[in-house]
Amino acid sequence: MDTEKLQETIDRRREEFVDTLATLVAQPSISARDEGVAECAELLAQEMKDIGINSEILPTAGQPVVYGELKAEDPDAFTLLCYGHYDVQPPEPLELWESPPFEPDVRDGRMYGRGTGDNKGQLLAHVMAASAWLETAGAPPINLKFVFEGEEESGSPNLGDFVADNRDRLAADLVLISDGTMHPSGAPLISLGNRGVIGVTLKARGADRDNHSGNKGGVAPNPAWMLIHVLANTVDPSGRVLVEGFYDDVRPVTETDREIIARLPFDPVEFGATMGLPTVDMPKEEYYRKIMLEPYFNISGLLSGYTGPGSKTIIPAEAEVRIDIRTVVDQDFDDLVGKLRAHVAAIDPRVEVLVRGIGGMAPSRTPADHPSIPVIAGSVERARGREPFVNLSSGGSLPNAVWPRVLGVPHVGIPYANADENNHSPNENLDLGCFHMGIRTSAEVFAGLAEARAEGRI
Ligand SMILES: [Zn+2]
């Protein structure tokens, strides 16, 4: 598919696209305190209508979803659902902004303003690419659906229900998410998933008060020791979790995964510096496997007894440890919590397992050998002139699981923002070159998916 004319259109309309972004950024949409969100939904839906996308505002139990649809001419065309969010983080502290957060200001080729990169510029890239297709060819080469959420920055509390309630309307072959940043080197990236997280507190109680460690030492139970015994029998020194069945659902590492990891950059000293260490003390494959493909059982806080100045010779009444378990795809919240409870009860039934939050955040990952992945990678390479790095899974947690779990559709992420976009921070910005390249990339992705469908590859 020749996309030269399309890219010319995108280049010619560059300033117009920047103006549209500025209009959207100028409208505050802070979901955390319901400030301007409904107004922003109206504005976005209107902008989409103006360029010919069938758009409407769909209610949820919280902030509305701006929904849009564009059909290809071919009824059997591939259907891509583009997800983004039009709400933003609160801009405070205001005094650290060099220009007001809702008065978009272009300096040195970047637009500064809350929501430029996270996520208004990135969601607009898909919309602008669709607009360029409309102008050039009269229709996009694939069916496009747009789901722009209004409460992602508040944890997407209603996205799952929204998707479940609109399953037929949202039916698609693939979900595309553009959020977050490209590789710090400026290289393009494709992201296939994320780890999940489960927050657990283990609590041990001894007597109903602290006791004198001399007078009662040896007879009063010590909850700190209870916890230490449980912890030492839960994870071995190599980090392996000893809870029975903990790894049952972890997918094996495939040959494709290994090949993808082999192409990723790895500089032990540079990577070490990002965590305040002289180096990363493990080989590249192990490093990426551990971050992307394996769960991690983390102690994030430990609390017991007296740690102030001097000494206080007590047997503490209580001990507590905070744990966050970073899960990988197919590991299930209820299953893992149940296994952990049984494990702890078998070691010391006096230690309680308390779950923090409801349900945690689920892991999700599209297999690297999914047929649409090489198509997306090829399109990104055509737009950018260089092969993207493929991130099998980000180590952190994102609300992507809704797509495979509720809609039954795989997802892929192509972040468009510069690595120093300062999202969630003062002086959030989007490099306008990145914005422009994002539009070109989306346009090329639409073309690549259409071509692959025509050839029966997807
Ligand atoms: Zn964000």
Give the separation between CA 412 and CA 400, rounded to whole angstroms.
9
Helix (H, G, I), strand (E, B) or coil at 176: strand
Instruction: Report the pLDDT averaged over residues 269-297.
Output: 95
State residue 194's pLDDT score. 94
452 CA to middle of ligand 1, Å?
32
AA identity, residue 402: V
pLDDT above 80 for 243: yes
pLDDT band of 432, cuts 50, 70, 90: very high
CATH at 112: 3.40.630.10
Question: Do 205 and 330 belong to one domain?
Answer: yes
State residue 395's pLDDT score. 86
Question: Do 159 and 42 belong to one domain?
Answer: yes
Classify residue 213: in a domain, yes or no.
Answer: yes
Question: Do 314 and 403 belong to one domain?
Answer: no
Q: Is 335 left (phi over 0), alpha (psi -120 to 50) or beta?
A: alpha
CATH at 301: 3.30.70.360
305 CA to middle of ligand 1, Å?
38
153 CA to middle of ligand 1, Å?
6
Classify residue 172: in a domain, yes or no.
Answer: yes
Instruction: Report the pLDDT averaged over residues 333-346.
Output: 97
Give the total number of structural domains in the chain. 2
* β-bridge mates for residue 325, sequence order: 198, 297
State residue 108's pLDDT score. 97
Classify residue 257: in a domain, yes or no.
Answer: no
423 CA to middle of ligand 1, Å?
6
State residue 396's pLDDT score. 84
Given 308, 330, 361, the domain boundary residue is 361
- pLDDT above 70 covers what percent of the chain? 100
Instruction: Report the pLDDT averaged over residues 420-440.
Output: 96
Question: Do 188 and 110 belong to one domain?
Answer: yes
Classify residue 307: in a domain, yes or no.
Answer: yes
Classify residue 268: in a domain, yes or no.
Answer: no
Question: Do 215 and 114 belong to one domain?
Answer: no
399 CA to middle of ligand 1, Å?
12
80 CA to middle of ligand 1, Å?
23
pLDDT above 90 for 48: yes
Instruction: Report the pLDDT averaged over residues 101-112.
Output: 98
The residues near 247 (Cβ < 8 Å, ≥ 6 apart) are: 241, 295
72 CA to middle of ligand 1, Å?
31
236 CA to middle of ligand 1, Å?
36
Question: Do 336 and 423 belong to one domain?
Answer: no
CA neighbor of 407 nearest in space, from 177, 169, 197, 191: 169
Given 328, 361, 394, the domain boundary residue is 361
pLDDT above 90 for 283: yes
CA neighbor of 439 nearest in space, from 141, 175, 188, 129: 129
Strand 65-70 to strand 143-149: parallel, antiparallel, or no bridges (unpaired)? antiparallel
Q: What angle is formed at CA 123 by the lines to CA 180 and CA 152, rounded to 5 degrees? A: 65
pLDDT above 80 for 359: no
Six-digit token string for 67? 């929904």
209 CA to middle of ligand 1, Å?
44
State residue 330's pLDDT score. 95
Instruction: Report the pLDDT averaged over residues 230-240.
Output: 97
pLDDT tens by residue, 365-380: 999 999 999 999 999 9
Question: Do 334 and 381 belong to one domain?
Answer: no
Question: Do 103 and 144 belong to one domain?
Answer: yes
Question: Do 9 and 21 belong to one domain?
Answer: yes
231 CA to middle of ligand 1, Å?
34
Helix ranges, 108-213 (H):
121-137, 159-165, 167-170
pLDDT above 90 for 75: no
State residue 31's pLDDT score. 97
Classify residue 286: in a domain, yes or no.
Answer: no
DSSP 8-state code for residue 291: I
Given 344, 361, 378, the domain boundary residue is 361
State residue 215's pLDDT score. 96
Q: Residue 101: is it exposed, middle or buried by C-beta count within 10 angstroms (0-12/13-18/19+)?
A: buried
State residue 262's pLDDT score. 96
State residue 2's pLDDT score. 79
Question: Do 314 and 386 belong to one domain?
Answer: no
Mean pLDDT, all residues of the chain: 96
Instruction: Report the pLDDT averaged over residues 208-223.
Output: 97
Classify residue 41: in a domain, yes or no.
Answer: yes
- pLDDT above 90 covers what percent of the chain? 95
pLDDT above 90 for 360: no
State residue 281's pLDDT score. 94
Question: Do 118 and 224 belong to one domain?
Answer: no
Q: Whole-prediction pTM value? A: 0.92
DSSP 8-state code for residue 32: G
Domain that holds residue 93: 4-193+364-454
Question: Do 71 and 166 belong to one domain?
Answer: yes
pLDDT above 90 for 127: yes
154 CA to middle of ligand 1, Å?
9
pLDDT tens by residue, 6-46: 999 999 999 999 999 999 999 999 999 999 999 999 999 99
Classify residue 288: in a domain, yes or no.
Answer: no
Instruction: Report the pLDDT averaged over residues 370-393.
Output: 96
Instruction: Report the pLDDT averaged over residues 319-330.
Output: 96
Residues with CB under 5 A from ligand 1 (ion): 118
